[in-house]
Amino acid sequence: MSQDADFPIVVEGLRNAFGEHVIHEDLSLKVRRGEIIGVVGGSGTGKSVLMRSIIGLQVPDAGRIDVLGDEITAARDDDDIDIRSRWGVLFQGGALFSTLTVAENVEVPLKEFYPDLSEDLLHEIARFKVMLSGLPPEAASKYPSELSGGMRKRAGLARALALDPELLFLDEPTAGLDPIGAAAFDQLTLELQETLGLTVFLITHDLDTLYEICDRVAVLADKRVIAVDTIPNLLKLDHPWIQEYFNGPRGRAAQAAQTRTRAAHKAAARAKAMDNQPDTGA
Ligand SMILES: Nc1ncnc2c1ncn2[C@@H]1O[C@H](COP(=O)(O)OP(=O)(O)OP(=O)(O)O)[C@@H](O)[C@H]1O
């Protein structure tokens, strides 16, 4: 299999700086097809700048980025990136157009990439994406200001899914959500990844999200990705930030919560299996 089939995102030797302020130096990262990769790091370590570089919104000073086999860093401008329709992005805060309804927001990328679609088909696709994002049908005709924070995130997700992307970029999707809303959003992300076969690049500070749904976690520190691995393997590393992050009080609480969730799932599965046992009358 070719490299881009196995790794839809490949970043090599990336350098980003704003004036004297160097954000990334010789940063490399390979994202595997079909995984949910969590991207973590202290505030200001450049997680969003990395995402913006990958989707061509930030031109790096050096390095090479390939997405789905296309060299993003060779593109002259945004329109030169032919594969923009193959990814969807949920920016921090949703970045919805406030003067458009949720359905109209979802229709924006559809109209851009498929200008010949009929109005009826546009509406139908938008309604389907709204439903896929777990919003009630009536949300389609609402304006962003009429929605709760959690519903706005889902509306942003509906727009990110508009073009049936292969890659989904999520920038702090659970930030600002209550724990129940955050857990529901995590499960939605997992379901979408499993049913649509998405590769998900997920920037987060949310330890529960990392434990619950991420296959691997990339850690940004010292201007580069210092490790990419499963959480159990990251815990074996003795980097101070990794230890403080995953083994600090919040990290341990998230780990304990995951153990409890797994135990509850196992108990439920056992109970279900018992219910399905044939009744021998004994
Ligand atoms: N357009 C810009 N001009 C100048 N500096 C910028 C620009 N964009 C980002 N930066 C700086 O780059 C650094 C990394 O920013 P970025 O938003 O990627 O951090 P982050 O890791 O996503 O942080 P957080 O977790 O707080 O969201 C910050 O110091 C930020 O101020």
Q: pLDDT tens digits for 5-17?
A: 799 999 999 999 9
The answer to whether the CB of 162 is under 6 A from ligand 1 is no
pLDDT band at 277 (very low <50, low <70, confident <90, very high): low
Give the chain's mean pLDDT.
88
Q: Would the ipTM clear 0.85, i.e. be above it?
A: yes
The reply to whether ligand 1 has any atom less than 6 angstroms from the CB of 23 is yes
Mean pLDDT to the nearest integer, 80-87? 77
Domain ranges within the chain, ordered by starting residue: 34-45+85-275
Place 275 in a pLDDT band, splitting at 50, 70 and 90: confident
Is-contact 150 186, C-beta < 8 A?
no
> How far does residue 247's CA lie from ligand 1's centre (Å)?
26
CB of residue 16 inside a 6 A radius of ligand 1: no
Percent of the residues in the chain that have a pLDDT greater than 70, as a whole number: 90
Question: Alpha-carbon distance 193 to 202, whole Å?
Answer: 12
Put the strands of the sheet holding 87-90 in their side by side order: 87-90, 167-171, 199-203, 36-41, 216-221, 224-229
> What pLDDT is attached to residue 3?
62
- Distance (Å) from CA 189 to ligand 1 centroid: 25
Residue 40 Cα, ligand 1 centroid: separation in angstroms? 14
Split at pLDDT 50, 70, 90, the class of 19 is: very high
Residue nearest (by alpha carbon) to ligand 1 atom 25: 43
CA dihedral 52, 217, 237, 47 (to 10 degrees): 20
Contact 228, 36 (CB under 8 A): no
Interacting residues of 10 by C-beta distance below 8 A, sequence separation 6+: 3, 4, 29, 30, 31, 64, 65, 66, 67
Q: Is 27 in the pocket of ligand 1 (CB under 6 A)?
A: no
For residue 1, the model assigns a pLDDT of 45
pLDDT score at 176: 84
Whether the CB of 19 sits within 6 Å of ligand 1: no
In three-state secondary structure terms, 14 is strand
> Residue 169: pLDDT above 80?
yes
Q: 133: Cβ below 6 Å to ligand 1?
A: no
SS3 199: strand
The residue-averaged pLDDT of 125-145 equals 92
Q: How confident is the model at residue 31 (pLDDT cuts 50, 70, 90)?
A: very high
- Residue pair 24/50 in contact (Cβ under 8 Å)? The answer is yes
Fold of domain 34-45+85-275:
Rossmann fold (3.40.50)
